[in-house]
Structure 1
Amino acid sequence: MPKVILLFCSMSGNTEEIAENIETSISHHGLEVHKFQIDMDDITVTDLLEYEAILFGTYTWGDGDIPYELEDFYDDMDDMDLTGKVVALFGSCDSMYPNYGGAIETFAKRFKERGAANVLYHLKVDLTPDQDDVKRCEKFAEDFVEQLNVFAE
């Protein structure tokens, strides 16, 4: 069974709520998920090497910027080899800005540059998740588990 890490950064609690919904859904599929909040828990970029699968969540600051809490994490990825890691990204966004969810796209590009297989669409939720968004989180988690099974074969 693949080891899954779910790590996220949340300012207002929206991305944290998305992470919790995804974690619950994945747990229902029998996978153990190790969840960390980047700006609160003791987690470094090198910890990613201990996992086969990575769920990464971030909010987007302003018009597409990565949050200041993630700047060091982003820079620390420079020398990482994440080849073979299955990665999916999610986060809260604000449709008021033209670059909707830009931080998610920035990190997706970074993970790909480091060799990870970004296997899913990016789950973007406009601000606070509503009931429809919770269903989207559940579907995202199901799709992630399905992709893990494909990679495991």
Structure 2
Amino acid sequence: MAKVLLIFASMSGNTEMMADAVAKGVKEAGGDIEVIDIMDGPDVSVLEEYEGILLGAYTWGDGELPDDFLDFYDEMDDIDLTGKKSAAFGSCDSAYPEYGAAVDILLDKLKERGAETVLDGLKVELTPNKDEEEECHSFGKKFVSFL
């Protein structure tokens, strides 16, 4: 059974809804998943313990990671993720100049640290509707197929 770690940041609950749907898809596809809220302060070394890594974050301001993800993001510079499969997702707001930049920032960091990104970043405008929740669910199922 593939071991998957999902770490997310959510302020208004939108990215958490996405994370729940992605995790459900991973489970249905036979993956063993651990879900951690970034506010719980996971140690970055936990990424090395899993075959698959999913990171979720909303985009803050004009295109930044949320503050609660910054320390973890910086600490990722100290780990090697070679051989890991990865993907990223997050809620976005098209009112800002950079749409879903946090997803792109996370994908770039995962690639920089050696992980293979196996899916394009999943971006949802604000609160996921039923169809978008299903898209998140499918995203999780599809992710497991790469492990």
Alignment-derived partner of residue 151 in structure 1: none
Alignment-derived partner of residue 112 in structure 1: 111
Alignment-derived partner of residue 47 in structure 1: 46
Q: Is the counterpart of residue 38 in structure 1 residue 34 in structure 2?
A: no
> Shift of the alpha carbon at 1:2?
2.0
Relative contact order, higher structure (CA 8 A, sep 6+): 2
Q: Name the CA distance, whole Å, in 1 between partners of 2:51 and 2:124.
A: 25
Q: Name the CA distance, whole Å, in 1 between partners of 2:108 and 2:25.
A: 26
Residues 110-136 of structure 1 show CA distances to partners (whole Å, capped at 9, x for unaligned) of 111100001101110100000110121
Equivalent AA in structure 2 for residue 111 of structure 1: L
Q: Is the counterpart of residue 143 in structure 1 residue 142 in structure 2?
A: yes
Equivalent AA in structure 2 for residue 76 of structure 1: E
Q: Name the CA distance, whole Å, in 1 between partners of 2:41 and 2:100.
A: 26
Instruction: Tell me the percent identity.
Output: 50
The aligned length equals 147
TM-score (structure 2 length as normaliser): 0.96
Equivalent AA in structure 2 for residue 60 of structure 1: T
Alignment-derived partner of residue 125 in structure 1: 124
Deviating above 4 A after TM superposition, structure 1's stretches of 4 or more consecutive aligned residues are none
Q: Name the CA distance, whole Å, in 2 between partners of 1:11 and 1:106.
A: 18
